[in-house]
Structure 1
Amino acid sequence: MVKKTQKNEENKIEADNKEYVPTVLSLLDKDENVVSDVQKEIFEEEIQELPPIEEGQLNISGIYVYDLGKKFETKVYIRNGLSDDLKLGNIPLLIINSKGETLGRQVFNLESLGTLPPHSARPLKLYFDKANVNVESIPADDWSIVLDGKFDITATIKPIFEGLPEDIDLEDKLVFDKFLEELPELKEGEFSISTFSIGIQKDGNILVTCVMRNATSRPMSIDKVPVTVLDAEKRIVKSNLFKLKDFSINSGRARICNFAFPTNVRPEEDVALEDWTVAYQLPKVNKK
């Protein structure tokens, strides 16, 4: 086994106008419950010994390489120096020596790594096929693993609510928070509208409540929203282009918005229309 570690006396320093950020251990939920406290301490010690990384960097640092016969097993730490969650796809990696010579190259699919929280480090074992390695053995104390060329990195955003009513009940807030937490993650630059509920009220209005999320880098102003309500058989019940006044969503935030369609129905109690759906577009008009 060839092990490589470097001492890092400080976990966050500033020099040459560069800010270096600390990274903390992050494990997948399935690993969090099975990894022992002793093993976690070992992980944390190894992370402390890694060289510092700058704010905004993705870093891969090797700990050891072990010859398995047909493969080289490597233990690495993937470190996210960004302030956003990060998901990785196909990543080309190089094993190089101190002269910058390539000892091996292989593309790894790192989707199984899951979402990397901001400023976190996650251990991973990678296996280089010997067909992808140019040398018989990895030289002791003269190797490192680096990123190679273009690769697939996706920053994911988990917006938080803004603009909630000041008098909102705690129970209602918890329900909205749970709904927001369970929505699919957004990629950086995306905007989404998700339906929270559809129901018909005692006053006869069909009320659509939705959650809008802004994962772009700028505040987003919304002045018009097309809304079409469909019943359980996907038949159009109501449709309208709603105009909003002074409605905006800041970057990385989510807001609740209600849309009401008047009807002549007057139920005795509010009724949830659980099998109904909403399309945030107007129906297409067939031209004859």
Structure 2
Amino acid sequence: MFGFFKRDKNKIAKEGDDHTVDSMELLGEQSESTGKEVKTSLHFPPAANISQEEKYYYQFLNNELPLLLENQISLSGIEVHSEDGRVSVKAFIRNSLPKGIRFKEPVPLLLIGPNGEHLARQTFDLSTLGELPAESSVPWVFIFDDRNVRVKEIPQTDWKLAFELQKPKAPHALDLEESWEKSLADTDKEKLAQLVKTIQPPKPGEVNFMGIQSRLDDDGALHVTLLIRNGSEKNVNLEQLPLNVEDASGDIIAKGGFKFEKLEIKANTSKPWTFIFPKELVLKEEIDLSKWKAYVPQS
């Protein structure tokens, strides 16, 4: 990987900018910090076969790199080269921790242009680097396949190679319909919010239902309140929903189909909703609601 393209001997300065992140954000690990600044020393990949002249060149560039704070990982762009649609980026990978590190998981990287535009994106297996020594700078070549390059022309200056950090997912939250927001007492809203907060959230991409409350009214209609739980990253709109309800004996006590003009369950939220089965849809006279469940029947 390292020797994929030779440098232009007329160039004596690095052309890319730096991108630096906290090691906890990227690797989930950190060492005790004293707040000191770190000058990273130059190391070469074990398999690198480069001339003495090249070594002097990289040493010169490394000497010009800014100091890092402890517990940082940095990418410092050296040069970029395009050929047959592929883009190769040579950069220093820098480690300011007082210990060696390894990239055990694939790392998504962005090639970013002068105005913040994304020129290319690709995930790299950096386990082939082996251990990045403590307080070191290691030159490496990253090759972006043509399918991952988004522009035809790659600028030669003012670009940077950057780690694409995953944004922390917001906790699963309660979402109330406007009518519920207006009618529920604050204490009831707080109880619902606490319930949503404490129970296990739905799996990513999953939409499911959790029973909250059930009762028979004076007219014999069955009222069933459910949490509709959306574990996906997209809003879900329900237009119709068939439901069966079973009581403690395991008997189906009510069947019905419900249609909605608009019932939207926002991404990563749970919404309470009450479903009312008229008396004629209740299938059993003696009902034991000490234990019950509601579910969408299999077609």
Higher Rg? 2
Short-chain TM bin: 0.3 to 0.5
Please report the TM-score for the alignment, with normalisation by the length of structure 1: 0.44
Please report the TM-score for the alignment, with normalisation by the length of structure 2: 0.43
